[in-house]
């Protein structure tokens, strides 16, 4: 293992198995609803594409980019929409797909914004959840893994735009981000 990492937190095999389970639940819940899945860029793209490939139901997709981190590694509390949806969601069953829910600040703001657009339903699906870091209450409808309060990278998650391409989720060594 590379010296930038303390350990593998979630293996590729565990990710694949959990995605299959989440897809089965989504298939059952949305089989007759033609849902719209929204990928929150950039970190969610790996999870999003693998999840959508595992679905058996028809589904439409769109993308949003939001940020509350700026250039740092801690939330600023201010949420900025960088890329908005390309279509209206009124009357649609919407599933937001996120890589990691940490403080809940960004997702809470995003959910409130999307609710004003009058979707038929709005649910949240995340690969990872850090409930002990939550500052704002967010309901997670579909969760891959609850993880400890560690700095994680890989499978879409980054530190300073590095490590996204790794196929597993790693705990980043403190020596990397506490320089």
Q: Which residues are catalytic?
A: 102
User: Could you tell me whether strands 5-10 and 36-41 are parallel, antiparallel, or unpaired per DSSP bridges?
Assistant: unpaired
What strands, in cross-sheet order, belong to the sheet with 80-83? 80-83, 60-67, 36-41, 93-101, 121-129, 142-146
What would the two tokens of residue 40 be?
């929150």
Alpha carbon distances (Å) from 138 to 19, 21, 125? 21, 22, 11
Question: Residue 8, Cβ neighbours under 10 Å: how many?
Answer: 15
Paired residues of 66 in beta bridges:
81
**CA 105 to CA 108: how far, in whole Å?**
5
**CA 96 to CA 111: how far, in whole Å?**
9
Helix, strand, coil percent content, the chain, rounded in steps of 5:
25, 30, 40
**CA 26 to CA 43: how far, in whole Å?**
21
């Amino acid at each position: 293992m590379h010296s930038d990492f303390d350990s593998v937190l979630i293996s590729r095999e565990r990710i694949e198995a959990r995605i299959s389970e989440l897809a089965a639940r989504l298939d059952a819940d949305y089989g007759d609803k033609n849902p719209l899945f929204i990928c929150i860029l950039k970190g969610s793209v790996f999870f999003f594409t693998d999840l959508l490939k595992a679905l058996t139901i028809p589904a439409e997709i769109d993308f949003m980019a939001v940020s509350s981190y700026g250039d740092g590694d801690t939330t600023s509390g201010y949420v900025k929409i960088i890329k908005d949806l390309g279509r209206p969601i009124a009357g649609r069953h919407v599933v937001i797909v996120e890589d990691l829910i940490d403080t809940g600040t960004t997702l809470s703001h995003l959910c409130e914004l999307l609710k004003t657009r009058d979707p038929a339903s709005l649910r949240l699906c995340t690969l990872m959840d850090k409930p002990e870091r939550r500052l704002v209450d967010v309901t997670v409808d579909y969760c891959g893994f609850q993880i400890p309060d560690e700095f994680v990278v890989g499978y879409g998650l980054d530190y300073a735009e590095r490590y996204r391409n790794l196929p597993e989720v790693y705990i980043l060594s403190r020596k990397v981000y506490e320089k």
